[in-house]
Structure 1
Amino acid sequence: MADNLEDEWWETDNRVQNNKIEENSSDEGEQKNTGEVSNKRSAEEEGEDQGNRTKKKQKRKRKKITTELKEKGKSSRASPTDVIDLLSKHFEGKLSPVELDEIKLDPDSDFYVSSESDHTPSSYLRTILPKWKKLVKSSGDLKPGSPLVLIITSSAIRAVQLNRDITDFKTEECKCAKLFAKHFKIEEQQKYLSKNVCHIGLGTPNRICSLIKNGSLHLDSVKSVVLDWNWRDKKFKRMADIIDLRIDLMVLLQTFIIPHIHANKCKIGIL
């Protein structure tokens, strides 16, 4: 008895052959796609490697502060133009033209001569304030919390050092208010400033700004603002090189110091 087959034998052979051709085509397509993916991944990896190499080169090209100091020379000192340029750069795009005009400083009329490399803190203060002793003696009507000189420095440690360095400038009658955060709570400083006459205010931008804002420190009698600009810490950074400190200094200058300079006979000294 014959088998009951649905298709003729030649039709079956053709279908088998066609299936084999389709399978081969599918395998070739998969291999092609796999190859394309591999090539794409290789290109991406190569791009990442090249990007990493570029970053490393940029890091190598970035100069250290010590290298820059050697190139410029250790005697390189800041000038009024450096302060003015930093103000312009910091507030560029943040303030309107009118607001920028309000914080403009004149390098001749708004600044004392800058300190030289052979100046000590005391000798520089004597240079810009030659009549300091008379000024202290004639300040009998000075109000509490209203210093004659405001010295702005980068840290509490540096402020303590400066306070010692200007001992021979201060005279016996002169009192110095310590306006920095280390070991001093702001409430203690508020209490001191409300009861005591101080001829010199010495501190950091952030704390000075806070004390002016809460009404404890007054700029009415300030004749000179001295920026401890050239001093460098253990990492060779100046106050203008430390981001947070620079921001605090810019806010202090914009909000309080520059308006006071424009309204009064007050100048900036660069130590």
Structure 2
Amino acid sequence: MALHRGDDLDDDFMPDETVALSEDEGFGSLIGDQDDIGKLLSADEEEDAESSTERTKTFLEKKRKRREKEKERKAKESSQRIGEPPLRGVASPTMISEYLSTMQAKSFSKMSALELQDRQIPETSIMDTTTWTGSRKLDTLVVFIVQAVPSLHTRLMQKTKSFGAPTLLFLTGAALRAADVTRTLKNKTLQGEKGAGVAKLFAKHCKLEDHTSYLKKTKIGSAVGTPGRVGKLLCNSGEDVNALSVSALTHIVLDMSYHDAKQRCLLDIPETRDEVFKMVLGAPQVMERLKAGKIHIVLF
């Protein structure tokens, strides 16, 4: 058999048209495939760019939401600090009792849970003032007492029998505020014709012995003062004992609606808080009447 090599083809050999066409199509197809690959790569790059943009938008949106939540949290903390519920008394006696217990524990940080429980203010001794829907400001104090604490209003209109024995004890955090509250409580709507006067009990411009002398010879229906001065008058010893008597006391109002320059209320200030729980509410004669249900706490 004769073997044929490429050189054995005739010099005038011409490829078949079908074969030639097949070869051209193969080359053109290759070029087309390259174009398609390029298009696919471009599409992928565009998709990657779009995906990157979406991821950036998602990240920024999550960051914005985190900032908003943090802002809301700080606003909530600030609101609670300056006297939102339960500080303004718009919560139930149960919630207020829990709040007072928490504040009391800060003042008696070295006491055991059992010791604290013995000093805890009974929930039954906390007035429920949730029926009051108005604001708790000085200009609404009179109406607040008349409508939300009618039992106190009734007693304030009655004649006082003993010297230095108020029915109402109003505790506030500043001398200037005490003076303003005193003027408000002198309202005839509260006192009527028989009601007694209102005592101002704070250290500014008045010595302790002057207050003691005043209380021993004056019949008062209400006493307004700072916890420090009121506490000293309750805890006096010797001949000055019981200068400020609790024999007729039925209500103690904690002024939670007043705030100092740092937006702190009565129980936010460590020194004032200690005076409230150690010297006033913690005074043996006061605690005894609180546990017996003879004195009620009101948050204003």
Tell me which interval the TM-score lies in, with the shorter structure as reference length: 0.5 to 0.7
Q: Give the number of equivalent residue pairs.
A: 207
Paired residue for 1:199? 221
Q: Distance in 1 between matches of 2:85 and 2:151?
A: 29
Report how far residue 96 of structure 1 moved.
4.0
Paired residue for 1:180? 202
Post-superposition Cα deviations, 1:55-77, rounded to whole Å, max 9, x if no partner, equal xxxxxx9xxx9884368898545
Paired residue for 1:100? 116
Q: 1:74–1:150: structure 2 CA closer, same or farther, 3 Å change rule?
A: closer
User: Which has the higher Rg, Structure 1 or Structure 2?
Assistant: 2
Alignment pair present for 1:147 and 2:162:
no
Q: Percent identity?
A: 24
Alignment pair present for 1:86 and 2:108:
no
Q: Provide the alpha-carbon RMSD of the alignment.
A: 3.0
Q: Distance in 1 between matches of 2:257 and 2:245?
A: 26
Alignment pair present for 1:229 and 2:223:
no
Report how far residue 131 of structure 1 moved.
4.5
Q: Distance in 1 between matches of 2:102 and 2:117?
A: 13
Paired residue for 1:246? 273
Alignment TM-score, normalising by the size of structure 2: 0.60
Please list, as runs of the form range in 1=range in 2, the aligned pairs for 1:30-49 lying within 5 A after superposition. none
Q: 1:243–1:88: structure 2 CA closer, same or farther, 3 Å change rule?
A: closer
AA aligned opposite 1:226: V
AA aligned opposite 1:268: I
SS of aligned partner of 1:202: strand
Alignment pair present for 1:124 and 2:144:
yes
Q: Structure 2 regions of 5+ residues with no counterpart?
A: 1-69, 90-95
Q: 1:72–1:154: structure 2 CA closer, same or farther, 3 Å change rule?
A: closer
